[in-house]
Structures are given as C-alpha cells and as structure tokens.
C-alpha cells in the first residue's frame, strides 16, 4: 500500500482533498489506487476478504436509522462464513431487551423482544437490524450477542463506552478463535478519543489481554445523498441528505466501495465503506 500523511478526522479528509486543487493530492491518489469497488453494500468479493482476513475484530459504525451499515454487516457475515470463518456478531442492544429471543431463538421472538417492540428513540430498532438476526441466527458458524448496558449496569453516558467494551471483551474471551463483528453508532467504534473521552473501539484496540492492536478494523459509513431516520429533538423523522458537493463524493464514480487506510495512519477509523446513496431504515414498531 502507498503511504499517505496521517489525518485525525473525517473532516480532515475533506479538507485534505481541497488542498492544492491544481494538482492531485496524495490522498486522492491513494483512494483511486486502493479503493475496492463493491457490487453493493451486502455483496462483497474475494478482494475484500484478502484485505480483511487478518483482522480479529471488525467494528462497523453507522448513523442510526440507516440501512447500509447493517447491510454491509450482512455482506461481511456471508463473505467470512463462505471462507470457513466462525463469527460472533455483537449488536448495540441491551441483552435484557432481547430475552424473548435469547431464551427461545426463533424468527418470531426476534420481533417480540422488548427492544424491537418498544418505541425507538434513536432509530436503532429497525427491520434492518432485526433481519440480520433473522437471516443468520441458525447458521452453524454464526452467533449473536448484545452488548449495550444491561439492567444492572450504570446508566450514565460517561460510563457507557467503557462498560460496552467490557461486555464485548467478555464475549471475545469466550471465543478467542472466532472473528468478532460489532455494529454500533459511529461514535462508539472510534479509535481516537472524542472530546477527550475514550470510546469503545479504542478501549478494545488497546486492551493488553485481548492483544488486538494490529488486528482491529474499524469502519464508518460515508455517503453522498439520500435519506435517514434521525431525531433532531422533535422525535424520529426522515431527513434528506445531500453532500453532492463534498470532495469525497467526487473522487471516484463508484456507487459503492471500501477503503482501508495504511497501517500506522492516525485516524478515528481504519477506513470507511462508501455508498453513493443512503436510505432511511424502517422501524419494527409499526405504531411509531
């Protein structure tokens, strides 16, 4: 892989792309030379496997209320199991809210679980999340776990990332030879502190017992236009997104691709997957 200068945030990517408009920047060259074109978010080819097979934990961050990150997780599950890997998938859901499913796993109890029955405040309880579980819970090489704070754990936001990290660590230690995929909000899987606070992803990567430094892949979702289900203070509503003028949208003409940064790059994530369009997810609570 070619080397590029370190950057510390996705915003700095966009600023970097704007530098020296008269000539192609190192970053633009790197993207063009190393981005892997994907057929879609959930259809990943062997080139992707060659790139990700060395990682033990793959953390996927999303804007809640969107379909594509969960679809990408589905693609990862299919790709890894097709290559004979065993995988455990952790989802940002409290385990006590999935007891109906955990005590009697079947397609009906997924939707009857408290998490998917109650009113969603942040756009997580969607058919996209539920369908990942429904599609793969019977697969012999796949196991699901849920790692958001349980009833007996602290409810303060300051403790949340450290406790989610411990919940995930427990599962990794139970299956140390399995690959682990996590799906969460994109703040939680950051590999750099945010507002001077360490997030779940950084805790995991730096844990000496787990020894995941160099074995951690943390991705976020980038997009150009579309819709998402967000709560901007007045409840969950569908909002339009238009980033067509951003430099990132103009680097490649691909509708979907994956980019992983060179080892040693200082950034909040190890890379990103891009879809030209983002789409709003549907809630499982039909009354909402």
* C-alpha neighbours within 13 Å on the C-beta side of residue 148: 16
Task: Write down the residue that tokens 């499913």 correspond to.
Answer: 101
End-to-end CA distance of the chain: 47
Q: Which of 24, 44, 35, 39 is nearest to 272 (CA)?
A: 35
Strands in the chain per DSSP E:
36-37, 57-62, 87-94, 142-148, 179-185, 216-231, 236-242, 256-260, 271-278
Burial class (CB in 10 A: 0-12, 13-18, 19+), 219: buried
From first to last of its 288 residues, the chain has per-residue pLDDT tens of: 344 443 334 444 554 444 444 445 777 788 889 999 999 999 999 999 999 999 999 999 999 999 999 999 999 999 999 999 999 999 999 999 999 999 999 999 999 999 999 999 999 999 999 999 999 999 999 999 999 998 887 767 779 999 999 999 999 999 999 999 999 999 999 999 999 999 999 999 999 999 998 999 999 999 999 999 988 778 899 999 998 877 777 788 899 999 999 888 888 999 999 999 999 999 998 777
CA dihedral 8, 240, 37, 202 (to 10 degrees): 30
Q: Could you write out the DSSP letters of every residue in 160-205?
A: HHHHHHHHHHHHHHHSTTSEEEEEEETTTT-SS-BTTB--HHHHHH
Sequence ranges of the domains in the chain: 32-278
Fold of 32-278: Rossmann fold (3.40.50)
């Amino acid at each position: 892989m070619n080397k590029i200068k370190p950057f510390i945030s996705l915003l700095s990517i966009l600023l970097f792309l704007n530098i020296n408009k008269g000539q192609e920047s190192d970053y633009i060259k790197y993207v063009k030379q190393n981005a892997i074109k994907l057929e879609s978010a959930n259809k990943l080819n062997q080139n992707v496997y060659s790139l990700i097979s060395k990682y033990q934990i793959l953390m996927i961050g999303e804007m809640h209320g969107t379909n594509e990150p969960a679809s990408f997780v589905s693609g990862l599950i299919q790709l890894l199991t097709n290559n004979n890997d065993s995988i455990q998938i952790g989802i940002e859901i409290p385990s006590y809210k999935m007891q109906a499913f955990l005590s009697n796993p079947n397609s009906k109890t997924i939707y009857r679980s408290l998490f998917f029955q109650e009113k969603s405040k942040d756009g997580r309880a969607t058919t996209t999340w539920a369908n990942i579980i429904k599609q793969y819970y019977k697969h012999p090489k796949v196991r699901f776990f849920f790692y958001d704070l349980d009833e007996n754990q602290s409810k303060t936001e300051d403790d949340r990332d450290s406790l989610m990290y411990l919940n995930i660590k427990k599962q990794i230690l139970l299956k140390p030879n399995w690959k682990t995929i996590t799906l969460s909000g994109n703040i939680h899987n950051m590999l750099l502190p945010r507002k001077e606070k360490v997030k779940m992803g950084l805790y995991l990567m730096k844990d000496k017992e787990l020894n995941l430094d160099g074995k951690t892949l943390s991705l976020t979702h980038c997009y150009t236009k579309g819709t998402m289900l967000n709560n901007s203070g007045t409840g969950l509503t569908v909002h339009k997104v238009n980033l067509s003028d951003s430099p990132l949208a103009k680097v490649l003409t691909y509708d979907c691709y994956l980019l992983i940064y060179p080892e040693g790059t200082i950034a909040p994530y190890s890379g990103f997957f891009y879809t030209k369009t983002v789409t709003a997810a549907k809630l499982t609570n039909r009354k909402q």
